Amino acid sequence: MNEQNLTAQLRDIKPLIEIPDSSFYIYWALIGFGIFTGLAVLFFIAKKLWEKRKQNLAKTYLAALKSIDWSDSKKAAYEATHYARLLATDERRRELFSQLEPMLEKYKYKKVVDKVDQDTLNQFNLFVQVADESV
């Protein structure tokens, strides 16, 4: 009877059932999300640093424009053209640069050049003033 009782107890034991386990997928999803989040944060930090660098470069170009020595007309015309072109990023400055550039052209590409005339200096100073306001 003891053996029959034991057999009856064993019939009540159910077989093992499979429990769905998705922890492997959750693990890789969390790693992927972490990598994506890290890359997004790095992207925005790099973008902010790049924008700040552009602003600092604009200030540097403006300082270089302000420190041009006009006693050497040829060198000054090249420097003014170079830095003004770098600063001509918005519509107003591009328009002023397009007016200034032909004035500076007559002091470049020649062996001997005259002293810079007052009209060119006035146009240059106007460009510097507009650039200074917007930088």
> Tens place of pLDDT for every residue, the chain, 135 residues?
566 666 666 666 677 788 888 889 999 999 999 999 999 999 999 999 888 877 788 888 999 999 999 998 999 999 999 999 999 988 999 999 999 999 999 888 888 888 989 999 999 999 999 988 877
How many CA atoms, within 13 angstroms, populate the side-chain half-sphere of residue 31? Answer: 6
Q: How many domains does the chain have?
A: 1
Two tokens, residue 26: 């959750």
pLDDT for position 11: 67
For residue 81, is it within any domain? Answer: yes
Q: Is residue 2 in some structural domain?
A: no
In a domain? residue 11: no
In a domain, 1, yes or no: no
Q: For residue 63, is it within any domain?
A: yes
Q: Is residue 38 part of a domain?
A: yes
DSSP 71: T
The helix/strand/coil state of 108 is coil
Provide the CB-side half-sphere exposure for 6 (13 A, CA).
3
Q: What is the pTM of this model?
A: 0.62
Domain of 126 in residue numbering reads as 16-134
